[in-house]
Chains A and B, each alone.
Chain A
Amino acid sequence: MSALDAAAPTFAVLERRSRRNLVVPVLFVLAVVVSIGTLGVGSYRVYFPDSVLALLGHGSHDQVNIVRTYELPRVLLAWLVGGGLAVSGALVQGVIRNPLAAPDIIGVTKGAGLAAVAALLVYPSTSDLELPLAAFIGGFAAILIVYVAAYRGGASPVRLALVGIAVSSVCETFIRLLLIKHVTAIGTALTWLTGSLAERGMTEVYECAIWMGVLLPLAYLCSRRLDVLGLGDDLAAGLGERVEHLRRILLLLGVGIAAAAVAIGGTILFLSLIAPHMARRLVGARHSLLLPASFLLGALLLLVSDAIGRGIDPPIEIPAGLITALIGGPYFLYLLAKAV
């Protein structure tokens, strides 16, 4: 009797754990279903069974062409970019130990945006391959500046975030300045800045997949380290971690993932902030579950946002980043209202 009583909490914990373990497979199935469901959304509507058949090569020439060259890359990119942004958000939130932090805040997104806009507007001959490279360099340069400026015998999370705010704001000012000076290309640049998956092809998918294929597994391998870092600097050091070193590596990893995502999808707002939040509510704070759940939620959010953006009023494309901001902003405000 007493042994059973003692075991009861254990059962409860086990039950909760197994439920948490279920979250990731369920999200995966959901994301796959949504991918298939949104495959044919757009100015040339292909309905569900036809869209899958067209993907497999059956159906009219138009349908096959549309689904394979226009729709498939977008769906795949939604997975890579959305998932990547969410994972980088989870990494940065883990490192800064603040659920409000995200690559948006610490300067990476704006740095990448500034470099890409500069490339787009000042050197209009920039090829599709060079644009991601520019974004990548910009993102890294921004985080380097932020890290160095915040470093004072270690880069405390608070200072990283505050310095990130300042650097983001300067980048933003320069982005606007560039847009003022180059009026003709302002539409393209604005769409890129808001973040969109429109007009991407399989080349971009392969590019992005290479980066994500390397960086995401690395992030997953670091999940236990992230858990330790979450205990606080002192405790992590007591457990034998070189805290500043670890912070640097994890930050670099997060930035790398964010830059790869931004390079392809543009500066999609709020996704990296809210997806890890949602994931944390579903699976708790352990990163071995949190990172995959974040990835899938990010993918789901971007899939839905992109589908809404291209399906709501075709042929007008509303950039997916605007939809994520419209979803993410209010959700974030709700979080704040609850957290206080």
Chain B
Amino acid sequence: MTSMAAESPSTRHRVLGRGRTFPVAVAVIGAIGLAGFVWSLSIGPEHISLADRIHGTFAPDQSAPQLIVHLVRLPRALEAALVGAALAVAGTVMQGITLNPLGAPEIMGVNAGAALLVTLSVTVATSMSGESVLVLAYAGAAMAAVFVFGFARLGRGGLSPMRLALAGVTVTAFLFALMQGIFILHVETASTLMFWLVGGVNFADWHNIHMIWPWLLGGSLAAMLLAAPLNVLALGDDMAQGLGQNVARTRVIGGAVVVVLAGAAVGIAGPVAFLGLIVPHIARSLVGVNHFLVMPLSALTGASLFVWADVGSRYIGAADSQTPSGLVTALIGAPIFIYLARQQRMSS
């Protein structure tokens, strides 16, 4: 939790020392993620051999097992990886620009903002296409982000982590209350939307993936380009300004990156809980605070975690019904969040 603070010579040494663990961390987490990915392809009513899974992934023929892999299971696993990575990178950027260990899109109301506009579009303007719903998700995320940043007072770092978190949570509660109101007036669509609100990739298809991957690619590249400014910003606003950084510009670009990544992820998979909050902490605990290392590792960890959460969700509940994968991230995420909260200093 204190990793955001300025580096003293000894921590700088430690940070650099930790940089050497980066290849190991990438290899291990990558292997775990890949294992989850392959397992994910094997789950379903139909038993499919490993050879068929590999063929179905890369070069499907017209046989049924390979088509199942290619059209149903592969998009699901791929979407889980993409959404997990997007939310994790969004969380890393957000924690970087707010200098706040609790700054994450789901805590700050960004996910809820996207969810509210998607809910509105699905219930009120039922004829909208997937692409325009996605644009609305961006608009909602942007609205919430502008608002939260607005009263976090960008440059002054005015709010304590605690106050910012409470404010974000209350804004989230308000947005969800509005959604609940919409549900009551449109009960017939409520149950589908409720599923989407828990968040999950249960209904993934190639169309969704084609729709979001350019955004995610662009957002992730922009996030990587932000690594250097974020490293400087981590020293504090005054120091960053003294070193010649345009702090406000870093924050605005960072905010835009968060909106694009979180908006796209929420637009197709719903407001998945806790991923954006906890993954950056896991990544930082492995490789230190250097954003050049944290950013790619967060993406990889987020992808692995959500692929595994999706695998886990298929073993929960009755066999004939779907369990949203967001349930699993909530169950994993809450204890980690509580652990982080327990590390907080006594002050408010």
**Which A residues fall within an 8 A CB radius of B?**
97-98, 100-101, 104-105, 149-150, 152, 156-159, 161-163, 165-170, 172-174, 176-177, 179-181, 183, 186-187, 190-191, 193-194, 269-270, 273, 318-319, 321-322, 325-326, 328-329, 332-333, 336-337, 340
Cβ-based interface call for B239 (8 A): no
Q: With a CB–CB cut-off of 8 A, which chain B residues contact A156?
A: 344, 346, 348
Chain B residue nearest to A102 in the complex (CB): B170
Q: Do A193 and B198 have beta carbons less than 8 Å apart?
A: no
Q: Do B338 and A149 have beta carbons less than 8 Å apart?
A: yes
**A106 CB to nearest chain B CB (Å):** 10
* A180 CA / B335 CA spacing, docked (Å): 24
Q: With a CB–CB cut-off of 8 A, which chain A residues contact B194?
A: 176, 179-180, 186
* A328 CA / B178 CA spacing, docked (Å): 12
A167 CB contact (under 8 Å) in B159, B334, B344: B334
What 0/1 pattern do residues 261 to 286 of B give for CB contact below 8 A with A? Answer: 00000000000011000000000000
Chain A residue nearest to B329 in the complex (CB): A173
Cβ-based interface call for B341 (8 A): yes
* A326 CA / B184 CA spacing, docked (Å): 15
Classify the interface of chain B: helix, strand, loop or mixed: helix
Classify the interface of chain A: helix, strand, loop or mixed: helix
Q: Do A336 and B187 have beta carbons less than 8 Å apart?
A: no
Q: Do A101 and B166 have beta carbons less than 8 Å apart?
A: yes
Q: Do B170 and A162 have beta carbons less than 8 Å apart?
A: no
Q: Do B341 and A157 have beta carbons less than 8 Å apart?
A: no
Chain B residue nearest to A157 in the complex (CB): B348
**A335 CB to nearest chain B CB (Å):** 10
What 0/1 pattern do residues 147 to 175 of B give for CB contact below 8 A with A? Answer: 10001110000110011011101110110
Chain A residue nearest to B152 in the complex (CB): A340
Cβ-based interface call for B321 (8 A): yes
User: Among the interface residues B323, B326, B335, B338, which one has the most CB atoms of the partner chain A within 10 A?
Assistant: B338
Q: Do A100 and B153 have beta carbons less than 8 Å apart?
A: no
**Which B residues fall within an 8 A CB radius of A?**
102, 107, 147, 151-153, 158-159, 162-163, 165-167, 169-171, 173-174, 176-178, 180-181, 183-184, 187, 190-191, 194-195, 197-198, 273-274, 317, 321, 323-324, 326-327, 330-331, 333-335, 337-338, 340-342, 344-348
Chain A residue nearest to B148 in the complex (CB): A336
Q: Do A194 and B184 have beta carbons less than 8 Å apart?
A: yes
Known pairs A150-B342, A194-B180; A166 contacts B334 (CB<8 A): yes
Q: List 12 A-B contacts (CB under 8 A).
A: A98-B162, A157-B348, A158-B341, A165-B107, A173-B198, A180-B324, A186-B191, A187-B190, A190-B180, A190-B190, A269-B174, A340-B151
Q: Do A169 and B184 have beta carbons less than 8 Å apart?
A: no
Q: Do B183 and A190 have beta carbons less than 8 Å apart?
A: yes
* A168 CA / B190 CA spacing, docked (Å): 21
* A326 CA / B183 CA spacing, docked (Å): 15
* A190 CA / B197 CA spacing, docked (Å): 14
Q: With a CB–CB cut-off of 8 A, which chain A residues contact B324?
A: 177, 180
Known pairs A193-B180, A325-B177; A169 contacts B170 (CB<8 A): no
A325 CB contact (under 8 Å) in B151, B167, B178, B190: B178
B173 CB contact (under 8 Å) in A193, A194, A269, A318: A269
Q: With a CB–CB cut-off of 8 A, which chain B residues contact A158?
A: 162, 341, 344-348
B153 CB contact (under 8 Å) in A162, A186, A322, A340: A340
Q: Do A100 and B167 have beta carbons less than 8 Å apart?
A: yes
Chain A residue nearest to B159 in the complex (CB): A340
A166 CB contact (under 8 Å) in B159, B163, B337: B337
A165 CB contact (under 8 Å) in B169, B183, B327, B330: B169
Q: Do B177 and A329 have beta carbons less than 8 Å apart?
A: yes
Q: For the A-B complex with A173-B326, A186-B194, A269-B177 known, give 17 more contacts whose Cβ atoms are closer than 8 Å.
A: A100-B163, A150-B341, A165-B165, A165-B337, A166-B335, A166-B338, A176-B198, A179-B194, A180-B191, A186-B187, A190-B184, A193-B180, A319-B184, A322-B180, A325-B181, A326-B178, A340-B153
